[in-house]
Structure 1
Amino acid sequence: MENKFIFKSDAPSLQLSSDVQNGDYIEPFISFSDLLELHYANVYHRRAIKIKANMLSQIEIDESDLAKFLPQNVSEKEFLFEFCYNLELFGNAPIEKAGAKTNYKLYNIPAHEWRTNKDKQMFQVGKSGKKIKLDGYYLKFYSPSSRYYGEPDYLAAMCQILTNRQADMYNYSFFQNGARPDLAIIHENSEPSEEQIAAYKKFFSENYKGSANAHKTLLCYTNSIGEKDAKIRFEKLSEVQDLSFKALKEVSRDEIAA
C-alpha cells in the first residue's frame, strides 16, 4: 500500500500590512502612553477598568498550580488582577517567562512598555528607549486595525473621555483665574493711561489668580475727556452655562462607564 504524506505549507502571506516596523519591533497602532494618560484623566473610566479587572480575576484557582510559577509574595489573585488590568486597559496582557524550560517564574510586564514583532518575539522598551528581549506569552483582544496588537473595548468612548477631561480643565482654569468669566474693561468718554493698562495686566495676571488671592479689590479711575462724564464698566465676553456642563458630564460619564 502506497504511503501518503501531507505536508503543511509554510509559505508567508502576501497580504499588505499597515503595521509599522520600528527596528526590532512593530509599533502599536495606538499609543499605549496615550491610553495610560487617559486612565488617569477620568475617574469613571478608571473605576470601570478596575471593576472589570476585579471581576475577571475572581476565577476559581483551587485546582490550579499557578502559585508555583509565581515569585514570592505574589498571590494568584494579585497576579491575575494585574494581568486582567493590563488586558482591559491596553487590550494586551504580556507575561514574562523567566528561568529554565521547566523551572521558571511568571511576571506581568507593564503593557505600555511591551512590544512585539512579526515573529511574535517580545520586547520591553523603557522610557529612555532602551529595549530588552524577553521570553514569555501574551494575550490580546482582537483588533481589526492590527495583526499583532489588540485593542481595548473602550476606544469607541475615547471622545467622551477626552470631552470630560476638557470640561474639567476648563473649570480648573476658571477657578485658577479667580472664578470670573472673561471680562472686557471698557472706558467710556475716557482713555486709560499707560499706568492703568499696566495695573490691569498685573492685577489679573498676578493678584487675582488662585484661592489665596480671592476677594481682592481692583481700584479703577478715569481721565475725563471733554464735558461728558467718564465711566468704566466691565462687560462679559462669553459665558458657559453651568447646567450645560453638568448635563455634558453626566452624558459622557454614562457612556464611559457603559
Structure 2
Amino acid sequence: MPTRPIHAMELEDLPGIRHGFYTRTGGVSTGIYRGLNCGPGSNDDASAVELNRTRVAISMNVAPENLMSLYQIHSASAIPVTEPWTDNARPQADGMATATPGIALGILTADCAPILFADPKAQVIGAAHAGWRGAVAGVAEATLDQMEKLGAKRADIIAVVGPAISQENYEVGADLRTDVLAESEGNARFFDASDRPDHWRFDLEAYVLHRLKMAGVGTMAGLSECTYADDDRFFSYRRTTHRGEADYGRQISCIALS
C-alpha cells in the first residue's frame, strides 16, 4: 500500500514547496509499530524504520539521506539546516528552518503537534515539534526567528498545525494548566473541565494556533486530526500508555524546497 500523506490546502500548490503530514499508511513495520513508523528512537526494527523513511523521502522527492529529523527534547530550541546529518548525529532541538533546496525537514510525533511553515516568496521553510512544554516555552517563535534569519517575513509565512491529540482526549493535571495560565489568564479558554477533580482537557491545537497568531504569522490553520482517536492512521503515545503497550511508533510530517 502506498504512503498517503495528508496535504493541507494552505500549503498546496506553493511554488517550489512540497509537504506532507504522513500517517501510518504505507509502511513495513509490524506489531505495535504497524505501518509507517519513522521514529529511529523507537524500539522497532531499525531496518524497517529505515525503509519507512526511505519511502517518505521518495514521496517527498528528496534523497533518503536528505530527510532530516531531530533528537526532539520538548524544548524551545530551533536550528538552521544547511546540510544533511546522520540519524545517530541528530541535533537536540525541536524546530528547524532551511533555505536549501533538496532537504526535507521532518518532525516526528505521536500526540504532540507538528507545525510546518513556508514563506513562498522568500523560499524559506520551517518545521517544529510542539508538545505543550515546547509550545509554552516558545518553539514556534524560535522557528520563526530562524526563518527570518534566512530571509523570511512573518507576514508572508503560512503555518499549518498537523495531526495531534484532540482536546476531547487530552486530559491534563494542574501542573500543565498552571504553566499555561502563568503566561496569561486568558489562556483559560483552552481548558475544559474534566470529570476528575483537578484535571482539565487541553486544546493543544488551538493553543498553538494562538501562539502563531500572536507571533505575527500571516496565515495559519489546523488540520483538527486527532492522533489518539484514530488507531488506523496515527500513532499515539497516550493511547499506548492507556493500553499498557511497551512502546509506540512515530508519524512524520515533512516539508521541502524542490
Q: TM-score, normalised on structure 2?
A: 0.19
Radius of gyration: which is bigger? 1
The structure in which a higher percent of residues are strand is: 2
The structure in which a higher percent of residues are helix is: 1
Q: Which has the higher contact order (CA 8 A, sep 6+)?
A: 2
Q: TM-score, normalised on structure 1?
A: 0.19
